A and B are shown apart, each in its own frame.
Chain A
Amino acid sequence: MNFPILSSIIFLPLIGSFFVFLTKAEKNERNKSAIYVSIFTSVVNFFLSLFLWYSFDNTTSDFQFVEELNWISGIIKFKLGIDGISILFILLTTLITPICVISCINSIKSRLKEFLIAILILETFMIGVFCSLDLVIFYLFFEAGLIPMFLIIGIWGGPRKVYSAFKFFLFTLLGSVLMLVAIIAIYWIVGTTDVTEIYKIQIPKEFQYLLWLAFFSSFAVKLPMWPVHTWLPDAHVEAPTAGSVILAAILLKMGGYGFLRFSIGMFPIASEYFVPLIFTLSVIAIIYASLVALMQEDMKKLIAYSSVAHMGFVTLGIFTFNKQGLEGSIIQMLSHGLIAAALFFSVGILYDRTHSRLIKSYGGLVNSLPKYSFFLMIFVLASLGLPGTSGFVGEFLVLVGVFKSNFLVAILASTGVILAAAYMLWLYKRVIFGNVSNNDLKKISDVNIYEFSILIILTTLVIFFGFYPDPLLKTIHVSIDNLINNYNLAIAKAVVLK
């Protein structure tokens, strides 16, 4: 057996968190060793996953680096493996985690050690979600992430943290238990929970619809789709900066990943059947969330609603079942991962200095924070999909895909782009330009070295992939082709049977 690289990437943060647990703070001092250990672990993990990407073979659609262990004897195997779709999400996770660790050096005032442990454990679960090739393992990682995230929001959150933490936990749990019923039902219907086997076997048509709905309930809450998105603004507003970043950048992507990997792969017939439902909900999400975002007074809430709108593009793209739509939705998820992370991080920088997230308490920041204003401009423009940023590539491809499959929906979705420009630019104008609204704002300092390094990394990536998305697209091409082929085959078979 080869070196188990996937397991190492999954469990390295867990081991790191154990060492963080062992560190001790000197009296009245910040726990430096805990910070060093967690930065070291997460950066090593990032390089491991870069190596994984380097050695990834993008000419085949088979699952690679497959690891198989007997787990629950005779029933379930501990099976890991990646294809072109999952590897990019693993990279995103391992990239965002060190950024979060660095960002909390300044912003987390109490119980830093526990915070770092929670982040590292969460990283383990998130990577596990993207690697697992067995439904039960997937569910295990998918749900386990709730515990650290619940604690991150609840312990280090803002004034309404308890309400938000409970809402987040119970919404997500309620969505997922139905998925558990479906997973067990799949086991008794086809005799296995191994995803690759289920792809081959094809679940009988009459079961697909209910199973699809059960999976949908889980992914729709996680993504989130309208009307079950209400936990997201609350969770974002109350979570500490690093928590919001992880939530927006990675946790939301689990829903989209779930649709790609499980809903389409395992239930093609039901997926085709429910396209109108998805399109309706997505269009409502795009327009409604954009309009709501226009009205927000809290910066984090505004970005949270913009996330709901951007996720609407993702679901639209996935359920067009054509190459442009599917690839576009993946690029959209990745770029939203970078941009939303950067935006939440930028809001966090302001919040650390003034302890306010309200738009009206800012104004004229360009005078005192020129560097900050520059970075924020790039992220705002990327978020509204300016050509030359990664946000454009994703939205453009998705809209091309949707035009192919449904003209009306495409027109409606395009209005979302205009609305995004409206609320993002208006936000930027109110915060950065105009009169200096109060004198405290003149005293605050510009970005420091940690913040600068994070912002420059994110900016580079956003612009690089805006001009040259080829490395990403090359990685996913074959896997997406395979996904579409399997889907068309299954649909054709169903038509013939009719």
Chain B
Amino acid sequence: MIPIKYIIPEIFLSISIFSLIIFGVFKKESFSAVYKASILIISLLFLMILTNDNEPIKIFNNSINLDNFSIFVKFLILISTFFILIISRRYLVDINNNKFEYPIIILLSILGMFIMVSANDLIVFYLGLELQSLSLYILAAIDRDNLKSSEAGLKYFVLSALSSGLLLYGCSLLYGFTGSTNFEIISNSIGDLKTGTIFAMVFILVGLAFKVSAVPFHMWTPDVYQGAPTSVTSFFSVVPKIAGIAVFIRFMYVPFNEIINQWQFILIFISIASMILGAVAAIGQGNIKRLFAYSSIGHIGYAIAGIAAGTENGLKSTLIYITIYSIMNIGAFGFIFLMKRGTKYIEEIDELAGLSKNHPMMSLSLLVILFSLAGIPPLAGFFAKFYIFMSVIESGMYTLAIIGLVTTVVSAFYYIRIVKIMYFDDPRKPFENDKEYGIYTSMAISCLLLITFFLYPSIFSEILSNISIY
């Protein structure tokens, strides 16, 4: 019997994508309708997964693993995409990029991520990854008349294709040495054959590190973040990161679980390098999108520190971290979408000077988000870091913890520099924006979550309590 009922969300998503394409092609001026339909589809998918009471199960000859872990990650992907679609709609209209393909490609990439995060088999995983990546290439270059966007798309495509190639090579090596593409079988047989599988592990690690933009595979991030339209940047900085980290966790904890001694040091290095680069390189940035690119590199460093701990607490802390990171970034990009005069969008940080006089509520929200990104208690960002370092120190990695916490001080510098520009400097010309209730609501939700998180900080650990990946 084909276990159809377990993959109803994915089937529903595919069917909706095809119908939306047909609808978009045959109807003129269909951007608005397709956009709204996509938001609706995401909400429906959300409800579908929420009401789903299936037991965790492996289907299709153990190639798809629908455990609590993948369901949680899918939740996160859907919620983040929902908010990002809401905050970026006006921007797309303003830059005259209201093509109906845009939301459809986002849905396609989500389909890819769904497959990717629940994959339990190298081939299924790679299928999902490619579906996701190809959609992302198109998204980066979607503003095709804009030189920077095309450049960003091309750069991203070339580098990402290279990393996919490395990843695929690693997969083939892994298959060659273990004789299977199934994660569990690989996990069982990997302990005996060391040298060859380490090569495979390193290749796969490189590919994954590229996808989450960890140092030293981060080079594309600042250019793509800056060049791509802001709506795409906001998507890039949240959703593919969630999926990438989830896949990262699954690879490290399932197939490579037995050779933890081999990958732990690599991850510690990647983590430290990302934290330091993210903290130091962002200091001199004048473009807010570029700054958030470096900031996201730093945050990925902290998330990887949790994975490097190699324990169940480490896994959970990484998931909590990436969740809170998404909340903060959605709020921050909501703010960036409000930085405009008329239909002209502004990306220079210096233009924020004295913002607190002209737009008190807007700057208060960014203040909360920035202090949270810097990890100052009692905001949620502190708890994210707290959980990470709890698990890191549990594994006895004091050096990683101390370096990580010292880099938070360095990164606090550039976050509070923005606060300084908004609050201490003399005002400039105010922004002009209409009442954007979608963005206001998203930012308000983000800030409220960040502020009130300390009332019930164990909410995520309770949600995650029954998540086990082994």
Partner of B420, one of A136, A140, A165, A181: A165
Digitize B180-218: 1 where CB-to-A-CB distance is under 8 Å, 0 elsewhere.
000000000000000000000000000000000000000
| A177 contact from B393, B409, B413, B419, Cβ within 8 A | B409
* Chain B residues near A154 (CB-CB < 8 A): 419-420, 423-424
Offer 17 A-B interface pairs, CB within 8 angstroms, sorted by A: A71-B457, A72-B458, A73-B458, A139-B377, A144-B376, A144-B378, A150-B419, A151-B423, A155-B423, A161-B424, A162-B420, A162-B424, A170-B409, A173-B376, A173-B409, A180-B405, A181-B401
CB distance from A171 to the nearest CB of B (A): 9
Contact of B406 among A75, A139, A174 (CB under 8 A): A174
**Do the beta carbons of B393 and A181 come within 8 Å of each other?**
yes
Complex CA–CA separation, A181 to B409 (angstroms) = 13
Known: A71-B458, A165-B420. A143 touches B405 (CB 8 A): no
Q: A184-B393, A185-B398 are in contact. Are A177 and B420 (CB under 8 A)?
A: no
A166–B376 touching, CB < 8 Å: no
Contact with B along A69-101 (1 / 0, CB 8 A): 001111100000000000000000000000000
A140 touches B393 (CB 8 A): no
Q: Which residue of A lies closest to B407 (CB)?
A: A177
Q: Which of B441-470 contact A (CB under 8 A)?
A: 454, 457-458, 461-462
In the bound complex, CA of A139 to CA of B386 (Å): 11
Question: How distant is A250 from chain B, measured CB to nearest CB, in Å?
Answer: 18
Residues of B within 8 A of A72 (CB): 457-458, 461
**Are B405 and A181 touching (Cβ within 8 A)?**
yes
Flag if B393 contacts A185 (CB, 8 Å): yes
A490 within 8 Å of B by Cβ?
no
Q: Is B94 in contact with chain A by the CB < 8 A criterion?
A: no
Which residues of A are in contact with B by a Cβ distance under 8 Å? 71-75, 136, 139-141, 143-144, 146-147, 150-151, 154-155, 161-162, 165-166, 169-170, 173-174, 177-178, 180-181, 184-185, 187-188
User: Are the CB atoms of A147 and B371 closer together than 8 Å?
Assistant: yes
B300 at the interface (CB under 8 A from A): no
Contact A177 B398 (CB under 8 A): no
Whether the pair A166, B413 counts as a contact (CB closer than 8 A) is: yes
Tell me how far the C-beta of B240 lies from the nearest C-beta in chain A, rounded to whole angstroms: 30
Q: A73-B461, A155-B424, A184-B386 are in contact. List 10 more A-B contacts (CB 8 A).
A: A72-B457, A140-B378, A141-B378, A143-B382, A154-B423, A162-B420, A165-B420, A166-B416, A184-B389, A184-B390
Q: In the complex, A461→B401 CA distance in Å?
A: 46
Question: How long is the Cα–Cα vector from A155 to B420 in the complex, in angstroms?
Answer: 8
A143–B377 CB distance below 8 A = yes
Does B432 make an interface contact (CB < 8 A)? no
Cβ-defined contact, A188 with B424, below 8 A: no
Contacting residues, chain B, for A162 (C-beta < 8 A): 420, 424
Q: Tell me the smallest distance from the CB of B276 to a CB of chain A, in Å.
A: 15
Least CB distance, B60 to chain A, in whole angstroms: 37
Say yes or no: is B164 at the interface (Cβ < 8 Å to chain A): no
A-B contacts at CB below 8 angstroms, number: 82
CB <8 Å contact, A181 and B416: no
Q: Identify which of residues 370-405 in chain B touch chain A, using a CB-to-CB cut-off of 8 Å.
A: 371, 376-378, 382, 386, 389-390, 393-394, 398, 401-402, 405
Q: Which residue of A lies closest to B395 (CB)?
A: A188
Specify the main secondary structure of chain B where it touches its partner: helix
Please list the residues of chain B having a beta carbon within 8 angstroms of any beta carbon in chain A: 371, 376-378, 382, 386, 389-390, 393-394, 398, 401-402, 405-406, 408-409, 412-413, 416, 419-420, 423-424, 454, 457-458, 461-462
Tell me if A73 and B462 are in contact (CB < 8 A): yes
Residues A184 and B457 in contact in the complex (CB < 8 Å), given A144-B378, A173-B412, A174-B406: no
- Taking CB atoms, residues of chain A closer than 8 Å to B424 are 154-155, 161-162, 165
Q: How far is the CA of A187 from the CA of B392 in the complex (A)?
A: 12
The residue of chain A having its C-beta at the shortest distance from the C-beta of B457 within the complex is A72
Could you tell me the distance in whole angstroms from the C-beta of A182 to the nearest C-beta in chain B?
A: 10
User: Contacts A71-B458, A73-B458, A162-B424 given: A140-B389 contact, CB under 8 Å?
Assistant: no
Please state if B416 and A169 are interface contacts (CB–CB under 8 Å): yes
How many Å lie between the Cα of A209 and that of B386 in the bound state? 23
Top 7 nearest A-B pairs by Cβ distance? A177-B405, A73-B458, A140-B377, A72-B458, A184-B393, A154-B424, A143-B377
- Of A150, A169, A187, which one neighbours B390 at CB under 8 angstroms? A187
Quick one: given A73-B462, A154-B423, are A184 and B401 in contact (CB under 8 Å)? yes
Contacts of B406 in A (CB 8 A): 174, 177
- The distance in angstroms between the C-alpha atoms of A166 and B419, with both chains bound, is 11
Residue A170 contacts which of B378, B394, B405, B413 (CB distance < 8 angstroms)? B413
CB distance from B368 to the nearest CB of A (A): 9
Q: How far is the CA of A166 from the CA of B414 in the complex (A)?
A: 10
